[in-house]
């Protein structure tokens, strides 16, 4: 047993539900099993987007974020359903309750995945045996398939869980990296998005192994500190703990400013709020978090101070969204007397790097339209040290980037 539980090492699981939304619908209605199924927003419209699909649908080439009309062209018999988030949350809660019966060290990172630290679970058997029992219970009790990665740290466990789906159990040790991890395309590495993969390919980095062996100075010049972090991951180094309280790790990020003169000028207020939103976005980006709560502070000429806030349905990260919400709060609550100070605070955070982005079903199209513009502005801002574009008009409110909800992920602990 000692070979499985080293004195100085850790044993980490990453439990990843397979085709979660579609699997939940199949468990709820067994007549759907074995059929090509897609969960999508606006299924009656051609512009709907596939959020997830069953493995039967994937055989036809149906993929997440694919336009629904294209999915139906590839798979004429495709069954399309609207999402039922309450049903998915209930299933998620029951799944995490099963994990929590094994160890208290469970860290949910999205509705359908989480980490477990089973280092102290030697009395329950070898890690593969524990993983098999978890997988069997989730399948028999909830009728849901999952894959489990077993590794000495979170990154390798995450990569391992992706290696065999559905219903896979994969062990990934550091000594396995040259054979199991390094041959994989760089775009398949957790933490490397499409844009980062394109940058890395400029250094002829095509595989994870290429990244592991690249001179670190080249990576830091290209990606800053993130280049070194990614190389450490590629070499199997990740000391992040499994933290059950990580959902609540960040409290708030905010900034405020006292105006040069008390004002009732709407244009000046908008200018100030825009600057504040940009600062909050920059700090959120540096901490790699998304927020789901925005607060506006208004201090009047007589020093009377009010705060008004909004809890959002989805997480946000862009200054445009922060500014739009702050302006709405200001318009709704300003009493028309001179303003001395304004502030914006974001809170209720989720770690961006840990979120499996599940695109908002009703705003994906708008978000996708803006994405290339956002990327271009980010590139220029990185190059010149400031945003070279002036905001010429107030952006429309954007409901935003992900339907991932963290407010219910502690529910499994409450019974």
The DSSP code for 362 is: T
Q: Average pLDDT of 73-90?
A: 93
* Contact present, 140 and 134 (Cβ < 8 Å): no
Q: From CA 137, how far away is CA 145, in angstroms rounded?
A: 10
Q: From CA 350, how far away is CA 284, in angstroms rounded?
A: 10
The four Cα atoms 167, 169, 170, 171 give a dihedral, to 10 degrees, of 170
Percent of the chain's residues with pLDDT above 70: 83
Q: Which fold would CATH assign to domain 15-114+132-151?
A: MutS, DNA mismatch repair protein, domain I (3.40.1170)
10 or 3: which leads in pLDDT: 10
Across the strands, what pairs with 309? 295
Please confirm, yes or no, whether 113 is among the known catalytic residues: yes
Per-residue pLDDT at 407: 53
Question: What are the sequence ranges of the domains in the chain?
Answer: 15-114+132-151, 178-234, 246-384
Q: From CA 160, how far away is CA 172, in angstroms rounded?
A: 6
SS3 51: strand
Per-residue pLDDT at 219: 95
Region of poorest pLDDT, from 63-77, 119-133, 397-411: 397-411
CA distances to 195, 217, 373 from 379, rounded to whole Å, are 11, 20, 10
Q: What are phi and psi of 345, to 5 degrees?
A: -130, 135
Question: What's the CATH superfamily of 246-384?
Answer: DNA polymerase, Y-family, little finger domain (3.30.1490.100)
Percent of the chain's residues with pLDDT above 90: 63
Q: Average pLDDT of 396-408?
A: 39
Question: Residue 324: which residues within 8 A CB-CB, separation 6 or more?
Answer: 394, 395, 396, 397, 398
Q: Which CATH class is domain 178-234?
A: mainly alpha
Average pLDDT, the chain: 85
47 or 286: which leads in pLDDT: 286
pLDDT tens across 346-376, in order? 988 877 754 434 444 444 444 444 545 555 5
The angle, 0 to 180 degrees and rounded to 10, between the axes of the packed helices 216-223 and 225-234 is: 130
pLDDT tens across 86-103, in order? 899 999 999 999 999 999
375 or 77: which leads in pLDDT: 77
Q: From CA 132, how far away is CA 128, in angstroms rounded?
A: 6
The one catalytic residue in 113, 281, 317, 354 is 113
pLDDT bracket for residue 411 (50, 70, 90): confident
For the annotated binding site for Mg(2+), the residues are 16, 112
Q: From CA 364, how far away is CA 366, in angstroms rounded?
A: 6
Q: From CA 371, how far away is CA 318, in angstroms rounded?
A: 11
For the annotated binding site, the residues are 16, 112
**Site of tokens 């000391």:** 239
* Contact present, 345 and 295 (Cβ < 8 Å): yes
Q: From CA 401, how far away is CA 368, in angstroms rounded?
A: 9
pLDDT bracket for residue 44 (50, 70, 90): low
Question: Residue 172: which residues within 8 A CB-CB, separation 6 or more?
Answer: 149, 150, 151, 156, 157, 159, 160, 163, 180, 181
Question: Residue 202: which residues within 8 A CB-CB, separation 6 or more?
Answer: 222
Per-residue pLDDT at 85: 86
pLDDT tens across 154-199, in order? 999 999 999 999 999 999 999 999 999 999 999 999 989 888 999 9
57 or 391: which leads in pLDDT: 57
CA distances to 283, 310, 349 from 250, rounded to whole Å, are 12, 18, 6
The DSSP bridge pattern shows strands 146-151 and 169-171 to be parallel
Q: Average pLDDT of 17-36?
A: 96
Domains 15-114+132-151 and 246-384 share a fold: no
Residue 1 has pLDDT above 80, yes or no: no
Q: Say whether the peptide bond before residue 4 is cis (omega within 30 degrees of 0).
A: no
Per-residue pLDDT at 241: 94
Structure tokens at 311: 């809890």
Q: Average pLDDT of 327-340?
A: 94
Per-residue pLDDT at 248: 58
* Contact present, 186 and 207 (Cβ < 8 Å): yes
pTM of the model: 0.67
Q: Average pLDDT of 251-272?
A: 90
Q: From CA 355, how far away is CA 358, in angstroms rounded?
A: 8
The angle, 0 to 180 degrees and rounded to 10, between the axes of the packed helices 85-100 and 127-142 is: 140
* Contact present, 172 and 149 (Cβ < 8 Å): yes
Residue 30 has pLDDT above 60, yes or no: yes
């Amino acid at each position: 047993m000692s070979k499985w539980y080293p004195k100085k090492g850790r044993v980490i699981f990453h439990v990843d539900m397979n085709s979660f939304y579609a699997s939940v619908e199949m468990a709820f209605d067994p007549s759907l099993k074995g059929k090509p199924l897609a969960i999508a927003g606006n299924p009656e419209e051609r512009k709907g987007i596939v959020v997830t699909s069953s493995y039967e649908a994937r055989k036809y080439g149906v993929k997440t974020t694919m336009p629904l009309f294209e999915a139906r062209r590839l798979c004429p018999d495709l069954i399309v359903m609207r999402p039922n988030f309450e049903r998915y949350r209930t299933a998620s809660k029951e799944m995490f309750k099963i994990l929590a019966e094994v160890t208290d060290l469970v860290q949910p990172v999205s509705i359908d995945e989480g980490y477990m630290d089973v280092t102290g679970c030697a009395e329950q058997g070898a890690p593969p045996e524990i993983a098999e029992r978890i997988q069997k219970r989730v399948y028999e009790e909830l009728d849901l398939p999952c894959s489990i990665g077993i590794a000495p740290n979170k990154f390798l466990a995450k990569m391992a869980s992706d290696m065999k789906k559905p219903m896979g159990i994969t062990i990934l040790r550091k000594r396995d990296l040259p054979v199991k991890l390094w041959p994989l395309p760089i775009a398949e590495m957790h933490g490397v998005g499409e844009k980062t993969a394109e940058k890395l390919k400029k250094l002829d980095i095509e595989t994870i192994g290429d990244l592991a062996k690249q001179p670190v100075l080249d990576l830091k010049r290209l990606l800053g500190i993130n280049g070194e972090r990614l190389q450490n991951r590629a070499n199997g180094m990740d000391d992040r703990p499994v933290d059950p309280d990580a959902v609540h790790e960040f409290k708030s990020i905010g900034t405020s400013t006292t105006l040069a003169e008390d004002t009732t000028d709407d244009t000046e207020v908008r200018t100030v709020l825009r600057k504040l939103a940009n600062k909050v976005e920059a700090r959120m980006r540096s901490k790699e978090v998304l927020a789901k709560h925005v607060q506006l502070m208004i201090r009047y000429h007589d020093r009377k101070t009010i705060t008004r806030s909004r809890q959002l349905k989805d997480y946000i990260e862009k200054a445009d969204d922060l500014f739009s919400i702050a302006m709405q709060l200001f318009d709704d609550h300003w009493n028309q007397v001179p303003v001395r100070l304004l502030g914006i605070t974001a809170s209720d955070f989720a770690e961006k790097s840990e979120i499996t982005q599940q695109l908002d079903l009703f705003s994906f199209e708008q978000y996708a339209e803006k994405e290339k513009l956002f990327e271009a502005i980010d590139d220029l801002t990185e190059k010149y040290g400031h945003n070279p574009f002036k905001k010429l008009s107030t952006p429309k409110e954007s409901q935003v980037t992900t339907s991932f909800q963290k407010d219910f992920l502690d529910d499994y602990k409450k019974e």
